[in-house]
Each structure stands twice: as C-alpha cells, then as structure tokens.
Amino acid sequence: MSITTPKSFDEITYPFDERPARGKLQAVAPGVYWLAMPMSGSLAYINLYLLEDHDSWWIVDTGLANAETSAVWEEVFTNELGGKPVVGVICTHMHPDHIGQAKDITDRFRCPLYMTQSEYYQARTFANGGGNSRSGWIGERFYTQAGMPKDYLQQLAKMWESRESEGMSMPTMVQGYERLHDGQILRIGDTDWQIIVGSGHSPEHACLYSSALKVLISGDQILPIITSNVSVHPTEPNANPLKNWMDSHDHFLEVIPQDTFVLPAHNLPFFGVRPRLRDLIHHHEDRMLAIEEACVEPQIAKDLLPVLFARKLDSRQMMMALGEAIAHIHLLLHRNRLQRSEDDEGVFHYRSVDPSLSRRAHPDDHEAPDDQPAYV
Ligand SMILES: [Zn+2]
C-alpha cells in the first residue's frame, strides 16, 4: 500500500477524494487502516483508525454510542479483521464521538482501554451524571457575567434533553484503563507509535505519531478544514484553553516534520501539517485582534459573538460560541491586551488597553466570521 507523496508540503493536499464505504477498511499506510463512522449533522462522519499487530488489532477512537455505529462495528468485526482479536482500544480524548463504543468493544474482547488520565476521569465523571455545571449558581453566574438573559439556563436545559435523544450524550465508561502519557511509545506490529499530548480542545488529548511511517493520527487536535471548538465552560470559568491550544500548535510545529501524513478524526487525511498549523494560529490571532478592535468601546461577551460568527445562533450554538468567545477573551486578558471590569449586575465588561493596538489594527482586513461554531 502506498500513497503518492506530494512534491510540495506548502499547501494542504488530500490523497483520497472521499471516505471509505460503510463498514470497509481503507489502507492508508502499512498496517494502518481508516474506517469512517456515521455522525448526524454537518459533520457527517468521524474517522477511526485500526492498527494491525502481528496477530491482533488495535482501534483508535470508536464512534458514537448509538445503534447505527454498533451495527457498523458488527460488520467490521465479522468481515474485516480476518478472525484476529482486538487487543487494545485507544481513545484520543473524551468526546462522545470518540469514546461512544469504547465500553462495548473492550467488553467484547476483554481488552484494555488506553487514554490519558484527565481524559479518562473526565469521561467517567460525565458518564456517571457527575452534575451539569450549566445548572445551579455556577452556571447562572457564568452566563450572567457573559451578559446572557435570565432564562438562558432554561433554554440550555431543554437543549440538553434533546441532545440525549440524538445519541450525543456521554456513554457508560469502562471501569478501568491503561494510562497514556506524553512521550510514551506503543509498539504495534513493527511500528513504534509515540504519544504526543495536545490541549485546548480537550484537557489532555493524545495523538499518535510514527516517525518511521511519517504518519500522525491527530484526533481532533489538528483538522484540515474544521476549526475544533476551544471553549471556556462554567466548570472552570477562568480557564485559558486557547493558550493551551496555541502552545500545542507551536509544539506540533516544532516536532512534526513537514512531510507527515495526517490522519484526522474529521474531514479527509491530508498532507500539509505545517501550513495547516500556521493557518490555525493565524485564524485565532486574527479573531483576537478583531475582538481587541471591537473593545475600544467596552463590550460584554455576548455582544462580541457577531465578531466571530456570522449566523444567528440557537441556544446550543450560542453556548459553544460564547465558550469560544470567552476563550479568546481570556488569552487577551492573559496578554494584558484587555481589561475586565464587573458592573452592579455582575456582568463583565472588556476594554482594550494595549497602546500598540492602533498600530496593529486593520479592521477592514479580517477573515470573514465563521458561519457557526463547530461541534467538534
Ligand atoms: Zn473532540
């Protein structure tokens, strides 16, 4: 199996035009197979990867916890694995489209689940109904500070109910796991896979990198088209995930060679990891500058949403969008480019304070706002 390597890595190129057919494995590198699983909405599918060991298989990410995904796995187990068992399930991070089937598969083969520590325990907390920080005083305070209306928490509660029926709720988790950590090597078949941890989209996201194959399984840490959601949530109202995200991008730029073939969890496998990382860094810097320009007149978080998103947002999109806006605001606060003050109603107001802004500003030359936040 060989992929034609492009002559130049200065732009993003896609060796495959479309995803593999339902339930079929597509070889993408020696011992590495791509499987697409269905998802609802504009995302359409999640990419999972299977790694062939000498007499067994490993699975990277598992798909949503719903009947359709279980049915596709049945087909794969019956038709595609050549009678060899699965000996390890690796989940890059704790989002439902990645961990949805982890318990079923590990139960079926009695094999371990491999995750980083924060991702595993966060998944278990959510799976056990560990409480919704969006209700109660913590959620109330968070959304008040962002300038949201009083009935916003009720709108959100309705949204969560409907989300459960879409199979996007957190599945039951396996009771034990094997811990992954940054720098660790997993030897699968004759290939060494190095775990590289990124952060920002989720707390301790594991990617798998093989320098021999020049392949990076990137999960949601590096996607070629979608910008992964990077959000502040009520659980940790002063978190700075965009700083983690930008730092991770810097780190990947440093350690991942330009000719690496990237196998992402959404969109198509691609070459051009460095231009993509630079684009993503530029994208967030551009959004932050647009926010600074808007905050020459003090602004509340809710009113900054049109700077980032073009479309009128429903309550769920609003939650994602606010989380992203606040993530950008927090990195600007960290850089001493915004100042925050609280009014008598408990609402935060942000004002640009960096004297070099007038030199850096270019209000007529920004990227167009995204349509809506990505659910990934
Ligand atoms: Zn994710």
Q: Say what the pTM is.
A: 0.95
Per-residue pLDDT tens for 172-193?
899 999 999 999 999 999 999 9
Rounded Cα–Cα distance for residues 327 and 307 (Å): 14
> What is residue 166's predicted lDDT score, i.e. its pLDDT?
60
Cα dihedral value 62, 65, 67, 73, nearest 10: 10
- Amino acid in position 181: H
Q: Return the bridge partners of 178, or none.
A: 114
Ligand 1: centre distance to CA 82 (Å): 30
Ligand 1: centre distance to CA 65 (Å): 15
Per-residue pLDDT tens for 321-372?
999 999 999 999 999 999 999 999 999 999 999 999 999 999 999 988 888 8
Ligand 1: centre distance to CA 25 (Å): 22
> What is residue 171's predicted lDDT score, i.e. its pLDDT?
83
Answer whether residue 163 shows pLDDT above 70: no
Ligand 1: centre distance to CA 351 (Å): 32
Ligand 1: centre distance to CA 260 (Å): 22
Ligand 1: centre distance to CA 133 (Å): 19
Domains of the chain (ranges, CATH numbers): 26-132+164-281 (3.60.15.10)
Answer whether residue 131 shows pLDDT above 60: no
Average pLDDT rounded to a whole number, residues 240-249:
98
Query: Closest Cα to residue 122, out of 26, 203, 11, 37?
Result: 203
Neighbouring residues of 340: CB distance < 8 A, sequence distance ≥ 6: 329, 333, 348, 349, 350
Ligand 1: centre distance to CA 118 (Å): 14
Neighbouring residues of 241: CB distance < 8 A, sequence distance ≥ 6: 199, 200, 201, 230, 231, 232, 327, 330
Integer-rounded Cα Rg, in Å, for the chain is 21
Ligand 1: centre distance to CA 88 (Å): 20
> What is residue 288's predicted lDDT score, i.e. its pLDDT?
98
Per-residue pLDDT tens for 294-319?
999 999 999 999 999 988 888 888 99
